[in-house]
Structure 1
Amino acid sequence: MTTLSASKSSIAFGKRSAGTLSAGSPSSDEKSSAGRLVRFSTLAAPVAAANMPLAVYLPPIYARDFGLSLGAIGLIFLIGRLWDAILDPLIGSLSDRTRSRWGRRKPWIAAGSLLFALSSCALFFPAGAITPTSLVTILFVFYIGWTAIQIPYLAWSGEISGQYHERTRIATYQTVLTSVGLFAMLVLPTLADQIRPGDGRLQLGLMGGMLLATLLPGVILTLTAFDEPAPLFPPERFSLGQSLRSVFANKLLLRVLASDFAVTSGQSIRSALIVFYVSFYMGRPEWAAGLFLFQFVFGILAGPIWMRIALRFGKHRTAVAGELVQVAINLGLLLVTPGNFALLLVLTLAQGLAQGSGNLMLRAMVADIADKHRLETGEERSGLYYSVFSLSMKAAQAVAIGIALPLVAWLGFKANGTNSQAALDGVKLVFALGPALAHALSALLLARFPLDEAAHAAIRRQLDTVPADLVPAE
């Protein structure tokens, strides 16, 4: 572990504004109750669930039911994603520098929730005609509100406790609630199709209703679950250049970001091709949506399983193990033939139980890296670090789709025509080998990761022993 020199350490300690936790937060050696962690994690459900309609359902519904051209919709949602990419590090850095009587993260979450709710009403319950201009305006506000919740919320989750393993527990509860929210968003449009097939307004209403119904209790329960820990350092003047340098100069953070990029790429390749694989290669189109739901059901159980493993072996070792399991599962797909659907079901069940193991551990590791940076430099960067973590995930989703779909097309596959056996085998190879290689790369990047439990404990001992007379008044 890199440590400060004595002179630099004294300077850093002299800059600190607080070294203790607020009254409503657990102490450094205290475990939070399951009830409080569930309360804190409830906001994860609507925040994560919002991604599903934006990525899958809204574009075709707005094209089919509201008459917008596919070209206009594609451009609008691309602009929205670019705007989102700008907002992530901006709001992350600004929330790091926020100081208020309510804390750094809570004001952003509260204000973001209001914008998120208002824009969701306009997005999911359109009162009149939708034009490209009105859709751009709605998405502009929606992304501000969504990001103002998501990034400070992730940063706060890494600050509730300084304990190495407690951070794994917190991330696990959030992961489980995230899976529940995503599962609900997968089921609701399916139910709408059973009631009134092809009714986009009904699908929008059910999805929007789910978001709004879970948002208000989620905000209240989350904001009252814990008090925010007081920041260790006073706020700095915002500098985009300095913020970017602190990201690109942090080698451990870059390893985690690269690993997460690989993990998410593998998952996104699988998601992008699963309908084609099941419908065309396996010849079972009636299972295309059901198999995805089948995987998600078991994915809800995955978080607690991997948490138990991580509490025994540590985060990075568990992440490596999880990624190697994913490699084995995806290579197993090479053995599946159209006549062996039972083997595909078994591998899908295993995929669900391994789902998110890497993402979960990597998210918890970001907070440990932020602690190391805080000790070495006296800079608060949790919000910024979680914002670039979110960016790496979003970039991986876009890149994976941009590679997987053109690749299977290059191999001869046609989504609306007759396919040769060679083209179908090409879909199978990309569906199996793409994720396998991505998860193998993720495991390789995390091998021998130096910031383990012992190294982090040494960092926390230095961060937690701040003399009271060195704490300046706010």
Structure 2
Amino acid sequence: MTDQTLGHHTASRLPALKLASFASIGFPLATAGLPLAVYLPPIYAEHYGLSLTAIGLIFLFGRLWDAVSDPLIGALSDRTRSPFGRRKPWIAAGGPIFALAAGLLFFPPMAVTPLYLGAVLFVFYLGWTMIQIPFMAWSGEISGQYHERTRVATYTQVAGSTALVIALVLPTILDQVRPNDAALKLAGMGALVIASLLPALLLCLKSFPDNLPVRRAHRTPGLGETLSAVAREPLLLRVLGSDFAVTLAQSIRGALFVFFVSHYMGLPQWASGLFLVQFVFGVFAGPLWMKIGQRFGKHQTAVAGELVQVAINLALLLVTPDALALLIGLSIAQGLAQGSANLMLRSIVADVADKNRLDTGVDRTGLFFSVFSLAGKAATAAAIGIALPLVSWLGFDPRGVNSPDALEGLLLVFALGPALAHALSAALIHGFPLDETRHGEIRRQLAERDAVAVAAQ
């Protein structure tokens, strides 16, 4: 039996049009994610009167809910058996839930209470997880080829990066049409999410087959045993640690970017523009690093990308308030390096799932992708919990006049924090043993074992 049995279209390159259709579901998810993190909290505070404390606690509990729902849905989708496959039923069911909650979140009534926001976010995160986690697992299954999986991840990253650019441009345009109209800005972003969801769902669900594995485990493990399997897979723990570090670095930079440009550089009018520049060039990062990964291998490329990030962030130490050109250049470089390690690490997760299935006889692809997603979310929360208190402890106050020492502290955290985290990410994934040769051998052994299982049926 060939590798064709283990993944769809694995014997040749996946059609580009089908890959674009498959990845399109990343567009509405990304257009929802940015407003949720950047715009929604201040709008709900300033326009709808919720306290920052209440909003912060609600979002904290939302992340705790993610910690439960992500691995749960990942494990359940691995165990799903239906005529439509394992992943498609979850994505199709999550779509209406996500759309309903997005409507309530982005088009709220005038009288909004903390209970309303908490309930809506609970449903919103549930719908999001029902789409995202099975989709990520499916992305690792439509091909079994080492480099083809990187192509799948690249198309998904480009769809998300394009969505982020549009999500950043839209509020800027609306500000020109109706300045300071928070309700219009929120509604515009919500309309973009909802309008893109239905066509993206249809394109994604029709793109590739979602067949059941050719071989089922003789015994279905319990949910507790399934979840504990994460701790028993050392290669997965290395990938999770590396991705946590790289996402921590990116999130520290994101949390402090506006403060750095507005206060250290003294150029608040440039903050949004430079943020947008970084994401515009980030659209080209995926294809660029995909080519590098195909030439040198996934973990080698992840290390190279992280070392480039270290150099870029250390170069920020050379930026002075009158060195705008240098900051623009570093922002462009940051965009071109953006997501390089995330892309490779996401592709590696599917390879690790293959190894685990060979070792244990159980397919845990959905579970492994769910904890990979959870590691990124945890890193985002940790970055805010580390960066903001640290710069405050160093004397920085976004609402007052800051001393030179306070601004120097802001620079050090903005530059050194991400540099150290990127270096840690590179160290964790350096020398990763699951390369293209080893993965090819794993796929060969899986094909032979599955052929025996089919012949015995």
> Shorter-normalised TM-score: what interval?
over 0.9
The equivalent position to 1:309 in structure 2, one of 271, 292, 307, is: 292
Q: What is the total number of aligned residue pairs between the two structures? A: 455
Whichever residue aligns with residue 71 of structure 1, its letter is T
Structure 1 residue 401, shift from structure 2 partner: 1.1
Match of 2:265 in 1: 282
Q: Deviations over 1:189-208 (max 9, x none)?
A: 22222222221211111111
Aligned positions of 1:90-169 closer than 5 A: 90-169=72-151
Is contact 1:94–1:238 with CA below 8 Å preserved after alignment?
Answer: no
Structure 1 residue 20 and structure 2 residue 10: aligned?
Answer: no
Q: 1:472 to 1:305 in 2, by over 3 A?
A: same
Q: Matches of 2:82 and 2:238 in 1, distance apart? A: 33
Larger displacement relative to structure 2 (395-404 or 63-72): 63-72
Structure 1 residue 358 and structure 2 residue 349: aligned?
Answer: no
Q: Matches of 1:53 and 1:338 in 2, distance apart? A: 29
Structure 1 residue 48 and structure 2 residue 30: aligned?
Answer: yes
Q: 1:473 to 1:99 in 2, by over 3 A?
A: farther
Match of 1:295 in 2: 278
Is contact 2:215–2:454 with CA below 8 Å preserved after alignment?
Answer: no
Match of 1:423 in 2: 406
Q: 1:324 to 1:151 in 2, by over 3 A?
A: same
Q: Deviations over 1:297-321 (max 9, x none)?
A: 0000000000000011110000000
User: Would you identify which runs of 4 or more consecutive aligned residues in structure 1 move more than 6 Å?
Assistant: none
Match of 1:170 in 2: 152
Q: Deviations over 1:154-206 (max 9, x none)?
A: 00000000000000000000000010111222222222222222212111111
The equivalent position to 2:66 in structure 1, one of 81, 84, 87, is: 84
Structure 1 residue 230, shift from structure 2 partner: 2.5
Match of 2:232 in 1: 249
Structure 1 residue 282, shift from structure 2 partner: 1.0
Structure 1 residue 459, shift from structure 2 partner: 0.2
Is contact 1:19–1:463 with CA below 8 Å preserved after alignment?
Answer: no
Identity across aligned pairs (percent)? Answer: 62
The equivalent position to 1:395 in structure 2, one of 344, 366, 378, is: 378
Structure 1 residue 19, shift from structure 2 partner: 8.3
Structure 1 residue 471, shift from structure 2 partner: 2.5
Structure 1 residue 21, shift from structure 2 partner: 5.0
Is contact 2:69–2:126 with CA below 8 Å preserved after alignment?
Answer: yes
Q: Deviations over 1:330-371 (max 9, x none)?
A: 111111111111111111111100000000000000000000
**What secondary structure sits across from 2:433 in the alignment?**
coil
Q: Matches of 2:424 and 2:223 in 1, distance apart? A: 31
Is contact 2:249–2:421 with CA below 8 Å preserved after alignment?
Answer: yes
Structure 1 residue 349 and structure 2 residue 332: aligned?
Answer: yes
Larger displacement relative to structure 2 (128-137 or 38-47): 128-137
Q: Matches of 2:323 and 2:117 in 1, distance apart? A: 46
Structure 1 residue 190 and structure 2 residue 172: aligned?
Answer: yes
**What secondary structure sits across from 2:230 in the alignment?**
helix
The equivalent position to 1:441 in structure 2, one of 402, 406, 424, is: 424
Q: Matches of 1:251 and 1:432 in 2, distance apart? A: 31
Whichever residue aligns with residue 247 of structure 1, its letter is V
Whichever residue aligns with residue 288 of structure 1, its letter is A
The equivalent position to 1:463 in structure 2, one of 437, 446, 450, is: 446
The equivalent position to 2:256 in structure 1, one of 265, 270, 273, is: 273
Q: TM-score, normalised by structure 1?
A: 0.93
Structure 1 residue 405 and structure 2 residue 388: aligned?
Answer: yes
Q: Deviations over 1:126-175 (max 9, x none)?
A: 24522222222211211111000000000000000000000000000000
Is contact 1:20–1:229 with CA below 8 Å preserved after alignment?
Answer: no
Q: 1:166 to 1:419 in 2, by over 3 A?
A: same
**What secondary structure sits across from 1:66 in the alignment?**
coil
Cα RMSD of the aligned pairs, angstroms, is 1.8
Alignment gaps of 5+ in structure 2: none
Structure 1 residue 68, shift from structure 2 partner: 2.0
**What secondary structure sits across from 1:337 in the alignment?**
coil
Q: Matches of 1:217 and 1:329 in 2, distance apart? A: 38
Q: Matches of 1:394 and 1:333 in 2, distance apart? A: 26
Q: Deviations over 1:216-240 (max 9, x none)?
A: 1110001101001431443664634
Is contact 1:233–1:379 with CA below 8 Å preserved after alignment?
Answer: no
Whichever residue aligns with residue 376 of structure 2, its letter is M
Match of 1:5 in 2: none
Q: Deviations over 1:95-152 (max 9, x none)?
A: 0000000000000000000100111111111245222222222112111110000000
Q: Matches of 2:132 and 2:317 in 1, distance apart? A: 38
Match of 1:63 in 2: 45
Larger displacement relative to structure 2 (316-325 or 55-64): 55-64
Structure 1 residue 465, shift from structure 2 partner: 2.4
Structure 1 residue 241, shift from structure 2 partner: 2.4
Structure 1 residue 20, shift from structure 2 partner: 2.0
Q: 1:116 to 1:182 in 2, by over 3 A?
A: same
**What secondary structure sits across from 1:248 in the alignment?**
coil
Structure 1 residue 469, shift from structure 2 partner: 5.9
Is contact 2:146–2:439 with CA below 8 Å preserved after alignment?
Answer: yes
Q: TM-score, normalised by structure 2?
A: 0.96
